[in-house]
Amino acid sequence: MVPCLNEEENIGPLYDEIVAELAGYDDLEILFVDDGSTDATLERVRSLAARDRRVSYLSFTRNFGIESAFSAGYRYARNDWILHLDADLQFPPAEGRRLIEAARAGHDAVFGIRVDRKDRWPRRAASKVHDLLARKLLGIELPAGATTFRLVRASLARRVVDLRLGTPYFLATVPRLTAAWTTVPTAHRPRLRGEPKVRWRSLARHSVELFISYSDRPMAAAIVACLLGALAAFAGLALTLAGAPGTALLYLATGTALAALAVMGRYLVHIGRGQPRTPLFLVREANVPVADADLLDPQDRTPQRPARLAAAS
């Protein structure tokens, strides 16, 4: 399964490498999920599908984001196991064999760990800080150093998708559903074609969503801060009434309380996302059966969409 956004230069090389390295496995399916590309990505995927029945694809109505893309791929992949590859070819498809061997030992999910990461140092440093905050400070169970390069049992992947979380943070959700996961060291390459799609702003937002959604510690800290702020405020008030300078304590209490309220406000936003919301993704075109609920127009039948399902798999 390959999520892709404006990767026209990589589609052909990626397909060639997947076929060369993984064609020996039975029932190989190469499922591309086009996340609203504006270049020739979809055209190149269509061309591959026209000449190779192993190529499947879904194309979104717009850019919904990487997590929506892999969620759609997990929902509609047709085999019992799903190997998640990025379209940028930084993870060599041949390394998928290492994940497959690990899965045969009885694991439900296997995560690739970059041995010699080829990203720029700011990205590497940010990842380490993110991992430290999540696992050590907030107590979130994450496979240390794990990436989107992973092999997962399809039934488990669909279970995560069907939870319909506001942010389906796969790395944090899998350990909550099964203890049968492991990590495997894998090679990593620099991107040779195209531009990176992940931006610092989206990474920061993604991290905040993880911290708030998967840990209660920020809320507990906010509650403690409110209590301390209240005590400081009462102390400042008592000092002021007694003729002593309590203004500084009042300022401290106010600032602490406001900071705590900001954290609690973020939790309220998270709770609000449990209410009815827009779909995780909408499919405009596909050459695999798609549930009516995931189609923009269930009545629209095109040659690229030979069949439909009554409900998601």
Domain boundaries, the chain: 2-199+282-309, 216-272
**Rg of the chain on CA atoms, in Å:** 23
Evaluate if residue 174 carries a pLDDT over 80.
yes
- To which residue do tokens 């791929």 refer? 73
- Return the bridge partners of 286, or none: 58
Give the confidence band of 198 by pLDDT, cuts at 50, 70, 90.
Answer: low
Give the confidence band of 303 by pLDDT, cuts at 50, 70, 90.
Answer: very low
What is the average pLDDT score of the chain?
81
Pairing of strands 30-34, 2-4: parallel
Evaluate if residue 4 carries a pLDDT over 50.
yes
Evaluate if residue 301 carries a pLDDT over 60.
no
What single-letter amino acid sits at 234? F
Give the confidence band of 83 by pLDDT, cuts at 50, 70, 90.
Answer: very high
Q: Which of 221, 248, 243 is nearest to 233 (CA)?
A: 248
Predicted TM-score of the model (pTM): 0.74
Q: What percent of the chain has pLDDT over 70?
A: 72
Evaluate if residue 310 carries a pLDDT over 60.
no
Identify whether the C-beta of residue 59 lies closer than 8 Å to the C-beta of residue 285.
Answer: yes
At 297, is the secondary structure helix, strand, or coil?
coil
Identify whether the C-beta of residue 127 lies closer than 8 Å to the C-beta of residue 171.
Answer: no
Identify whether the C-beta of residue 286 lies closer than 8 Å to the C-beta of residue 296.
Answer: no
Residue 97 has which token pair? 């064999």
Q: Which of 277, 275, 297 is nearest to 286 (CA)?
A: 297
Q: Looking at residues 133-153, what average pLDDT do you find?
A: 78
Give the confidence band of 202 by pLDDT, cuts at 50, 70, 90.
Answer: low
Evaluate if residue 46 carries a pLDDT over 90.
yes
Q: Which of 196, 189, 91, 195 is nearest to 149 (CA)?
A: 91
DSSP string, 72-93: HHHHH--SSEEEE--TT--S-G
What single-letter amino acid sits at 131? D
Total count of residues recorded for the chain = 313
Evaluate if residue 275 carries a pLDDT over 60.
no
Give the confidence band of 225 by pLDDT, cuts at 50, 70, 90.
Answer: confident
Identify whether the C-beta of residue 226 lies closer than 8 Å to the C-beta of residue 178.
Answer: no
Q: Which of 302, 263, 266 is nearest to 285 (CA)?
A: 302
Residue 116 has which token pair? 């010699």
Identify whether the C-beta of residue 90 lies closer than 8 Å to the C-beta of residue 66.
Answer: no
pLDDT of residue 111: 94
pLDDT of residue 284: 93
pLDDT of residue 89: 92
Name the CATH topology of 2-199+282-309: Spore Coat Polysaccharide Biosynthesis Protein SpsA; Chain A (3.90.550)
Q: Looking at residues 191-210, what average pLDDT do you find?
A: 70
Output 196 or 18, whichever has higher pLDDT: 18
Q: Which of 87, 121, 93, 109 is nearest to 18 (CA)?
A: 93
How confident is the model over 159-168, as pLDDT tens digits?
988 887 666 6
